[in-house]
Structure 1
Amino acid sequence: MRAEPQPADYQPDTAIDALAEWLGAPVAPADFPETRVRFRSDRWAANVGLADLSDEDWAQNFGRFVPLEGNMPRPLALKYHGHQFRVYNPDIGDGRGFLYAQMRDASGRLIDLGTKGSGQTPFSRAGDGRLTLKGAVREILATEMLEALGVNTSKTFSVVETGEQLMRDDEPSPTRSAVMVRLSHSHIRIGTFQRLLAFEETEQMEALVGYCLEHFPGPMPPEDAPGREAPAVMLMHQVVERMADLAASYMVAGFVHGVLNTDNMNITGESFDYGPWRWLPTWDPSFTAAYFDHGGLYAFGRQPEALHWNCGQLAVALRLLADSEPLIAAMNRFGPLYMEAIARRWCWRLGVEPRGVEQDSTLVSACEKAMREGGQGPDVYFFTHRGGRNATGELGEILGGYEPIGIAHEYWSDPTPQSMLIDEVEGLWSHIDRYDNWEPLHTKVEALRLMGQAHGEPPEPRGHVQPD
């Protein structure tokens, strides 16, 4: 059974103050015509001591962005560069969001509350700084589904409808507006390091590396790793470990992020900043999520390559502090770590006890083959064969040597599994858009959380963020 987030007292901790002077720009939130609370994640609010807020106070804090007690007096729009579809862009940064607050959770980890759709900033360029309500609803669904499938993801903390009519080229307009708050362990991106490299800001790079190691600690690199005591090398190893696991978690979940640019890569290995995501209808490595990804750069099967490439850009940035050899040595661990993570996570979702990377890799290959030949997507496939049930032929022989685990939950007796294909997403939005009926969305969220409980706690790699 998966443990629910544990309640905690509210513990503000604005650690970002040490970097704020050069990491971001102070900004003011937009003054919205109205603030109607549409979604609040009280389970995660309890984890940071904020579940007791009334809806009125919630709207003030997460719609008007009245500062939380003892927290950041003014929001901070973060500065960063990034490769967007592998083209370097120095003209980005938080264009419709900001860092709003920091605090400790029940386990002592540093937590960020960041926004999306909170108004224009110095980095907005030609954008209006707003978020569509549909975009916010999609983010609720993405994060709830990913969490249920064991992916290290940001959490959709709050959605407040803001009463504006927005014009967009890629959906029917005018459309309703919202401001969203996400809960993350960090908003430090690979692109944050790339910006410091571009300006050759060595002292700031050292400070940022130190901040990450202090507040998002992980294990030491392997004992035979060259330069393992150097802070930049330590961070590089931790990020490689986290990204390899994140890539594997996407694949096992059947998830396509869509826009795996370096400015969308959190150094904690936490997936965030969701745009044109999709879940696989069938097991198809060439499946893409973004209509503008004409070359399939971020297709489902190329996601591990994309995250590895992004790690390479972090290594390039950290050359400001470290030699190439130890950074390359860290990069070279990505492939083996990814294969270990695929095996570990595949067995977890299938509901069998792992038997070792070599044997588990054979199991993965057999399952992939069966999905391709049967035209099934991963949601149906993993559900149907949970714990080795209904397995015949080659797969039945392979699974015969595996011990089933985690099959007692009532969810596994349902007639069909939970999924998140695009038709259902559009249907859930249609209820809201046409009738202002939020009940189907809330019902779906509860069903996804039940599925998460059925899967149990996901396996954690070495590099996951530990309390500091």
Structure 2
Amino acid sequence: MSTQTQLSARFADTFPELAVPWRSEEAPDPRLVVLNDALATELGLDPEWLRTPDGVAFLLGRDVPEDARPVAQGYAGHQFGQFVPRLGDGRALLLGEVTDHDGRVRDIHLKGSGPTPFSRGGDGRAVLGPMLREYLVSEAVHALGVPTTRSLAVITTGRKVQRTRVESGALLVRVAASHLRVGSFQYARLIDGSRGGDGEELDVTRRLADAAIDRHHPQARGAEQPYLALFESVMDAQASLVAQWMRLGFIHGVMNTDNTTISGETIDYGPCAFMDAFNPDTVYSSIDAQGRYAYRNQPAIIGWNLARFAETLLPLIDDNVEQAAATLQPVMNSFSDRYRAAWLRETSRSLGLPTTDISPDQEKLIDDLIGLLTEHQPDLTRFNRLLAETASVDQVDDAPVLRMFTAPGDITAWLKRWLAMSPDREAMKRVNPIYVPRNHLVEEALKAAEDGEMAPFLRLLDAVTSPFERHGRFSKLEYPAPEDFGRYVTYCGT
């Protein structure tokens, strides 16, 4: 064991009600497929040591420091609107927490580490393709400046795992600000609700809320009503997060309450994808037949999830639940305005326009643009980037972005209105990516990796983690899928 490797058991020690001590499944023939050297260094881990057999054993959760206590975390959740009271880490383990070079506490978490008491009949394993997908997309999202869990490593286990076909077993090592979720609070309330007697019935929920304040939203501690302030802080963090997804055309695909973090980080890259043609009804997930988590629905769904979070906090707000609801309701009712403000700020960033004191004319310009994008459905990533290359009002008729519209006249008038606002096109280039994980390229890279060829994956990873600077060797990565790629469908990988 590396003397540099320190893991605390903070969550395990603080919340025994929400944690089951557990050990990862042994891997018969582990092989490190990809390691995030920069992230390892940031966490105070030695990348070279992590590549050794001892380091791989640590990443697998088989050889952890003596003071570590890996646990499977318990949580509940609304899955596609249906409440499931006991979900938990069915194929995951929290190894423990580390303190990074900036003094932040970070979770080290495994995904695909074998069955746990929460597995509900599943095998607890993961396979290579979905784990590499999460690594690729989460690191791309991080490079785009969006709050997210990170990926430290992917390791193949040497097992063969049966899904729709036999695939190579694999494990992802994930890093997060924490794994506290709305579902964690739902589970805590169920535990508290099952207890009798006065004084203890809110113990787990209160301790969980206090931990969330201390770790993620410390400004709430000094508020007159700290638990109300916690709710507002989480609401603002999630409104900002989803506004960033919407600006970039990112579709999460499975926005259940157990995938809504208290920290405001993106978590769980299962059936996720970046949208090519701008169509608000886009759904990529094979398990979302009704389009509950379609692109256009993401703001409403996060509002719904936050309402479920609010329900768990009611007894902490006031002993009288009716009074607590009356206190929380105006805050909950403000969500649509808070989200709208976050979305206007994000879209203004894309357009190189002021992000504060947004004028009615600027707001109208943004709303009109969404109408044009919805009607003509250009590729969103290229549209945002090419917009920055529209030089002046005098050159609008020759602007490259016009070629993305079947009826250029519809966008020309809009472009002149936009340019009249003196957009900062250099600032636009810093926030509008050239490269995102294009769906056809992701699938191409994952298939090659499954066949033992990692070069396409590493090349795509290199591009999407440097998304704002154009590189000649990545020129083919700028474009959406060819027409013969067909309709794209993603799977959760379980």
Deviation for aligned residue 1:35: 1.2
**1:319 and 2:339 are equivalent in the alignment:** no
What is the match of residue 181 of structure 1? 173
Give the match's secondary structure for 1:58: helix
Q: Distance in 2 between matches of 1:404 and 1:371?
A: 21
One-letter identity of the residue aligned with 2:70: P
**1:209 and 2:209 are equivalent in the alignment:** yes
Deviation for aligned residue 1:134: 0.4
* Alignment counterpart, residue 458 of structure 2, candidates 420, 432, 442: 442
Q: Distance in 1 between matches of 2:430 and 2:363?
A: 29
**1:303 and 2:261 are equivalent in the alignment:** no
Deviation for aligned residue 1:118: 0.5
* Alignment counterpart, residue 284 of structure 1, candidates 262, 279, 283: 279
Deviation for aligned residue 1:407: 5.4
Q: Is 1:371–1:381's contact at 8 Å kept on the other side of the alignment?
A: no
What is the match of residue 347 of structure 1? 348
Q: CA RMSD in A?
A: 2.5
Q: Distance in 2 between matches of 1:341 and 1:387?
A: 25
Q: Pick the structure with more helix per residue.
A: 2
Deviation for aligned residue 1:425: 1.3
* Alignment counterpart, residue 123 of structure 1, candidates 118, 128, 152: 118
Q: So what's the TM-score if we normalise by structure 2?
A: 0.82
Q: Distance in 1 between matches of 2:468 and 2:59?
A: 27
* Alignment counterpart, residue 245 of structure 1, candidates 240, 248, 251: 240
Q: 1:394 to 1:86 in 2, by over 3 A?
A: same
Q: Deviations over 1:308-353 (max 9, x none)?
A: 0000001111113121123223322322221221122223334444
Choose 1 or 2 for highest CA Rg: 2
Q: 1:330 to 1:355 in 2, by over 3 A?
A: closer
Q: Which moved more, 1:108-117 or 1:211-220?
A: 211-220
* Alignment counterpart, residue 22 of structure 2, candidates 20, 27, 31: 27
What is the match of residue 42 of structure 1? 37
Q: Is 1:105–1:111's contact at 8 Å kept on the other side of the alignment?
A: yes
Q: Which moved more, 1:9-18 or 1:281-290?
A: 9-18
Q: Which moved more, 1:128-137 or 1:314-323?
A: 314-323
Q: Is 1:232–1:318's contact at 8 Å kept on the other side of the alignment?
A: yes
Q: Is 1:388–1:396's contact at 8 Å kept on the other side of the alignment?
A: no
Identity of aligned residues (%): 28
Give the match's secondary structure for 1:384: helix
Q: Distance in 1 between matches of 2:120 and 2:345?
A: 43
Give the match's secondary structure for 1:368: helix
Deviation for aligned residue 1:138: 0.9
Q: Distance in 2 between matches of 1:408 and 1:286?
A: 26
Q: Is 1:282–1:372's contact at 8 Å kept on the other side of the alignment?
A: no
Q: Distance in 2 between matches of 1:284 and 1:408?
A: 22
Q: 1:441 to 1:272 in 2, by over 3 A?
A: same
Q: Is 2:278–2:377's contact at 8 Å kept on the other side of the alignment?
A: yes
* Alignment counterpart, residue 60 of structure 1, candidates 57, 67, 73: 57
Structure 1 unpaired stretches of 5+: 1-8, 455-468
Q: Distance in 2 between matches of 1:229 and 1:410?
A: 39
Give the match's secondary structure for 2:316: coil
One-letter identity of the residue aligned with 1:386: A
Give the match's secondary structure for 1:286: coil
Deviation for aligned residue 1:95: 0.1
Q: Deviations over 1:57-80 (max 9, x none)?
A: 33111124311x4752x3110011
Give the match's secondary structure for 1:98: strand
Q: Deviations over 1:129-163 (max 9, x none)?
A: 00110011111222122223332111111100111
Q: Distance in 1 between matches of 2:418 and 2:326?
A: 41
* Alignment counterpart, residue 381 of structure 2, candidates 375, 379, 382: 379
Q: Distance in 2 between matches of 1:12 and 1:409?
A: 40
Q: Deviations over 1:352-378 (max 9, x none)?
A: 443633444333223323323432121
Q: Is 2:213–2:220's contact at 8 Å kept on the other side of the alignment?
A: no
* Alignment counterpart, residue 132 of structure 2, candidates 118, 137, 140: 137
Which has the higher relative contact order, 1 or 2, with Cα contacts under 8 A spaced 6 or more apart?
A: 1
Q: Is 2:42–2:101's contact at 8 Å kept on the other side of the alignment?
A: yes
Deviation for aligned residue 1:421: 3.1
Q: 1:86 to 1:11 in 2, by over 3 A?
A: same
Q: Is 1:248–1:341's contact at 8 Å kept on the other side of the alignment?
A: yes
Q: Is 2:149–2:266's contact at 8 Å kept on the other side of the alignment?
A: yes
Q: 1:165 to 1:407 in 2, by over 3 A?
A: same
Q: Distance in 2 between matches of 1:344 and 1:387?
A: 21
Q: Is 1:117–1:130's contact at 8 Å kept on the other side of the alignment?
A: yes
Matches within 5 A, 1:51-450: 51-54=46-49, 55-56=51-52, 57-67=54-64, 69=65, 71-72=67-68, 74-169=69-164, 173-199=165-191, 200=193, 201-220=201-220, 229-322=224-317, 323-354=324-355, 356-357=357-358, 358-386=360-388, 389=391, 390=399, 392-406=412-426, 417-434=434-451, 436-450=452-466
Q: Distance in 2 between matches of 1:218 and 1:338?
A: 22
Q: Is 1:153–1:271's contact at 8 Å kept on the other side of the alignment?
A: yes
Q: Distance in 2 between matches of 1:93 and 1:121?
A: 9
Give the match's secondary structure for 1:451: coil
Q: 1:453 to 1:20 in 2, by over 3 A?
A: farther
Deviation for aligned residue 1:14: 3.7
One-letter identity of the residue aligned with 2:310: A
One-letter identity of the residue aligned with 1:174: V
Q: Distance in 2 between matches of 1:90 and 1:100?
A: 24
One-letter identity of the residue aligned with 1:421: R
Q: Distance in 1 between matches of 2:56 and 2:189?
A: 39
Q: Which moved more, 1:194-203 or 1:355-364?
A: 355-364
One-letter identity of the residue aligned with 1:356: D
Give the match's secondary structure for 1:181: strand
Give the match's secondary structure for 2:465: helix
Q: 1:353 to 1:42 in 2, by over 3 A?
A: farther
Q: Is 2:429–2:468's contact at 8 Å kept on the other side of the alignment?
A: no
Q: 1:387 to 1:334 in 2, by over 3 A?
A: farther
Q: 1:442 to 1:196 in 2, by over 3 A?
A: same
Q: Distance in 1 between matches of 2:429 and 2:278?
A: 26
One-letter identity of the residue aligned with 1:441: F
